[in-house]
Structure 1
């Protein structure tokens, strides 16, 4: 393994030039093998995970999703603030900025960019949660390509150009901050469904009718069918929202088919 790593280092040096010595000895940056192995394991899980979960009940992962999204939201906020202040303090030039022109500000940027690189490893969990929850339709080619390549790309960035204009590239990741925040809020509502239960327990067509009376919506046609059927639909919708792993009972499914055939 050491011989293989030495060969890779020689090849990278011949192709890209000498590495930046400021990141020498940093976690995961000395050699490429750990980054490559983690990426291969990620792709294997993406391939084998859905097959393993095919005949199993999906996991809700509600509690861990809240912690995960909150953690990444805070990390993204920290990186965003540190990058903005580092670029401001170092008086970065947005047209042509070298990698060794800002002194201490460059080192501040390098430390933040290492966290940005490491966050790409943490974000592998996005796909793992999709697999555990059996949301396989969200595991697209673009999704897998993005996660598998970003971790590798930023290993090379951190070893050869760990500051300068690369800070501008990472600073444009505010969509990641808002994305995790957008996922955190619904997951909080799912973990604490009792708060939602405080709303009036009325059917959907009653709620739409009340809004129409206030002038907020145009007249809506109430759903057809017996009242007990509407109640069953509400119960199943509630179960699918807050308990995605719970399957419909055979009796309910049979009744639904009979009602639709009328």
Structure 2
């Protein structure tokens, strides 16, 4: 896998993170993702077949609070760097190697984001242990698996630069999303009273619309600023896939079901 990536995308590993867990060796990431897929699709359902679902209410509350804090921290710390580089212009973000302090700063943020994407896999594990198999949709499984694999791969080669904006926007969305999860976990009545659930899905769709334009701009302009343009092509393709999947989910959940409800 590593040889294929380096040959096809014409990239080399960043030596600064060579000894870091997940980023330093992609074998670790691949092993974690493979174990996740095996547990979700085979082992987990088999173990839970003749067992009652676990409640896990307290564990999930702690998990949701942790996600809010970590994602919020990433947004807070990354904002001066991302917004200071005129994110809204769509211009290509080069890999900044001119300032050692900025390099260490962005490298640490990228590494933290990679760890969060691994932590996200617990969402699906909790669904399986609670026997909420209907929530382990293709969209959910594919989204979590791809980001857990993609983030360490990208930051293994380029820990800052253009793709860092993806992590920034994604962290904003996840801060809001896990805040909703925390509130809805407090009680069934609380869950039914939160009217803005569908807007989180719209927010997720909005991030893919924005990132599509953000990745497309330097490709149209031919302005790669030293960033591997094949990474941008791949990210652009995945954004289209997610836009389709999330749009399909929104239509089925909030449009079709609303029409089927009796007046």
TM-score (norm 2): 0.64
Q: Cα distance, 1:177 vs. partner?
A: 0.8
Partner of 1:34: 28
**Residues 1:180 and 2:178 are matched in the alignment:** yes
Contact 1:106 1:164 in 2 (8 A): no
| Inter-partner Cα distance in structure 2 for 1:188 and 1:40 | 32
* Alignment partner of 1:130 is 2:124: no
Aligned counterparts of 2:83 and 2:132: Cα–Cα separation in 1 = 42
Largest Rg, 1 or 2: 1
1:51-66 alignment to 2 at 5 Å? Answer: 51-66=46-61
Q: Which runs of 5+ in 2 are unaligned?
A: 191-263
- TM-fit CA distance, 1:91: 6.6
- Note the C-alpha offset of 1:106: 3.5
Separation in structure 1 between the aligned mates of residue 148 and residue 13 of structure 2, nearest angstrom: 18
Say which structure is richer in helix: 2
Report if aligned partners of 1:86, 1:108 keep a CA contact under 8 Å in 2: no
Equivalent of 2:96 in 62, 78, 100: 100
| In structure 2, distance between residues paired with 1:154 and 1:86 | 19
Do residues 115 (structure 1) and 108 (structure 2) align?
no
Aligned residue among 73, 77, 80 for 1:85: 80
Matching of residue 169 in structure 1 with residue 142 in structure 2:
no
**Counterpart Cα distance in 2 of 1:38 and 1:106:** 27
Deviations 1:38-61 (CA, angstroms, capped at 9, x unpaired): 111101111121232122111110
Structural RMSD (CA):
2.3
- The match for 2:139 is 142
Q: Which runs of 5+ in 1 are unaligned?
A: 1-7, 196-262
Q: Hey, what does 1:241 align to over in structure 2?
A: none
Distance 2:73 2:98 in 1: 21
Residue 12 of structure 1 and its aligned partner are, at CA, apart by 4.1
Aligned to 1:255: none
Task: Name which of 140, 143, 158 aligns with 2:155.
Answer: 158
Q: Distance in 2 between matches of 1:67 and 1:87?
A: 29
- Using the TM superposition, name which of 43-52 and 100-109 deviates more: 100-109
Structure 2 partner of 1:73: 68
**Is residue 14 from structure 1 mapped to residue 7 from structure 2 by the alignment?**
yes
TM-score, length-scaled by structure 1: 0.64
- CA–CA distance in 2 between the matches of 1:88 and 1:12? 30
**2:95 counterpart SS class:** coil
Does the residue aligned with 1:58 lie in a helix, a strand or coil? coil
Report if aligned partners of 2:12, 2:157 keep a CA contact under 8 Å in 1: yes
